[in-house]
Structure 1
Amino acid sequence: MNLLNSPVFGIFLSIITYQIGLKIKARFKNDLFNPLLLAMFMIIGFLSLFHIPYESYKIGADYIHFFLSPLTVALGIMLYRQRTVIKKHFISLIIGITAGVATSFFTILLMAKAMGLSDMLTLSALPKSITTPMAISLTQILGGEEPLTIILVVITGMSGAFLAPFAVKLFPNFNAIAKGIGIGTASHAVGTSKALELGEEEGAFSSSAIALAGLITVLIVPFLARWFGLV
């Protein structure tokens, strides 16, 4: 029982389930088998099967959560590495990413209104298209639920990686800039992994879009949320 109430339990369970998820992903080579999502399901199943309270797991999980904040700063490295691309196509990047962020916000808002979702659920969904560390920080600012936001971020990334090849075929005349910005803005790092498979340029623009989309989202979404009375 002492082990269950120590940080070792949560950290060990997280690492083991994620490693299993990586093995499954490598075995099937399918974007639907996302290691993070698989780890989440395995942890939920393990805790439920052995009737272990979530609070026991959270003791160790909080230590892992602590390291997400420094990862947000690390996005600056990504921007630095892509500085040549950003400088050359700065206007296109900003316009495209801002349009993508606005589209995401209003799509979620309209769907939430149509489905009668609560403001809390709506706020939790708003950061779904940016990378996990920034999404968690934003949902804390907005007053959403972190676990729900994380799940939606994973699902969004998986959806983007799965649908990106179909979208590219549907719009064959779009250049590498449009493809990369669209994938990176809509589905962050998981989608970018698919953009890299499409081509080097697509991957570069998608990588640039991850950090820029996160920054733009953090800047304008709280303002829009207040404007529409969500917070």
Structure 2
Amino acid sequence: MISLLAIVLTIIIYVLAKRLYGRFKWIVFSPIILTPLVIMFILKETHISYDAYKNNVSIINLLLGPATVAFAIPMYKSFHLLKKYRMEIILSVTAGTVIAVFSSLLLAILFHLQDFLVHSIVPRSITTPIAMDVSKTLGGDPSVTVLFVILTGIAGATIGPILIRFLALRSSIAKGLLMGVAAHGTGTAKAFEFGQLEGTFSSLAMISTAIITIILSQTFIPLLFNLL
């Protein structure tokens, strides 16, 4: 009964946050920001531990995987465009992914963070379920990784549109790839606000970024850690 109430309450808060964001388009009302803040406030005021809440809503975490896979639907519908611009996509996404991974690694090292924190931060630029698996592979803490994934998504979804206007980007492909590489699922949701084509290419960029990051986590990143 408690588990059901926790799930229903979480969904209600998320839906209300989504409606607020849909009406005002203010980043503060984004479900990824407002929902956790409201839940944190409720847990604090009711003296319910985070672990207890997490256990009661664990079924929601299971939906992360199917939600990520669902991004493949618009990609399938626009497959002819993906095929047409395959070289542009491959080059831009690969460059963006490599920069994201190694900039995270460099910043972590410059600030002299502990090894497990470095390993946790590296996969911050990919979607949550895959980032957690990569973090485990590298020896990081998935909980810390989730925090940095959320922060990256919020920052990317906020700065991305500003950057698009500053650079005067008109190409739907460029807009979508930028948002997908920089801000994974959050950026993709934002890209769909621009248009269907932007969201499609953002989905592709997000998935491609995850694949490239997985490859790096199994090859170059462990080698680099050994050299440092």
TM-score relative to the length of structure 2: 0.84
RMSD of aligned Cα (Å): 2.5
Q: CA deviation at 1:113?
A: 1.1
Whether contact under 8 Å (2:138, 2:222) holds in the other structure is no
Q: Which amino acid aligns with 2:183?
A: S
2:101 alignment partner, one of 92, 101, 105: 105
Q: CA deviation at 1:75?
A: 4.2
Whether contact under 8 Å (1:97, 1:181) holds in the other structure is yes
Matched positions, count: 226
1:142-174 deviations in whole A, cap 9, x for unaligned?
A: 333333322322222222222123212332367
Corresponding residue number in structure 1 for 2:220: 224
Q: Distance in 1 between matches of 2:20 and 2:197?
A: 29
Q: CA deviation at 1:211?
A: 1.8
Corresponding residue number in structure 2 for 1:61: 57
Whether contact under 8 Å (1:136, 1:149) holds in the other structure is yes
- The sequence identity of aligned pairs, in percent, is 35
Superposition map of 1:133-172 within 5 A: 133-172=129-168
Q: CA deviation at 1:175?
A: 4.3
Inter-CA distance 33–120: structure 2 relative to 1 (3 Å threshold): farther
Inter-CA distance 224–44: structure 2 relative to 1 (3 Å threshold): farther
Find the residue that maps to 1:165 and give its secondary structure. helix
Decide which structure has greater helix share: 2
Q: Which amino acid aligns with 2:13?
A: T
Q: CA deviation at 1:222?
A: 3.6
Q: Which amino acid aligns with 1:51?
A: H
Whether contact under 8 Å (2:160, 2:179) holds in the other structure is yes
1:28 alignment partner, one of 21, 24, 31: 24
1:96 aligns with 2:100: no
Which structure would you say has the larger RCO, counting Cα contacts within 8 Å and 6 or more residues apart? Answer: 1
Q: CA deviation at 1:39?
A: 1.4
Whether contact under 8 Å (1:10, 1:56) holds in the other structure is no
Q: Which amino acid aligns with 1:142?
A: L
Inter-CA distance 128–33: structure 2 relative to 1 (3 Å threshold): farther
Q: Distance in 2 between matches of 1:204 and 1:73?
A: 13
Structure 1: stretches of 5+ with no match in the other structure: none
Q: Distance in 2 between matches of 1:89 and 1:156?
A: 27
Q: Distance in 2 between matches of 1:43 and 1:79?
A: 34
Inter-CA distance 76–28: structure 2 relative to 1 (3 Å threshold): closer
Q: Distance in 2 between matches of 1:194 and 1:74?
A: 16
Deviates more, 1:192-201 or 1:122-131: 192-201
Q: CA deviation at 1:108?
A: 0.6
Corresponding residue number in structure 1 for 2:81: 85
Q: Distance in 2 between matches of 1:64 and 1:200?
A: 26
Inter-CA distance 63–103: structure 2 relative to 1 (3 Å threshold): same
Q: Distance in 2 between matches of 1:115 and 1:174?
A: 37
Q: CA deviation at 1:80?
A: 2.4
Find the residue that maps to 1:117 and give its secondary structure. coil
Q: CA deviation at 1:86?
A: 1.8
2:177 alignment partner, one of 181, 189, 196: 181
Whether contact under 8 Å (1:78, 1:211) holds in the other structure is no
Corresponding residue number in structure 2 for 1:50: 46
Inter-CA distance 123–82: structure 2 relative to 1 (3 Å threshold): farther
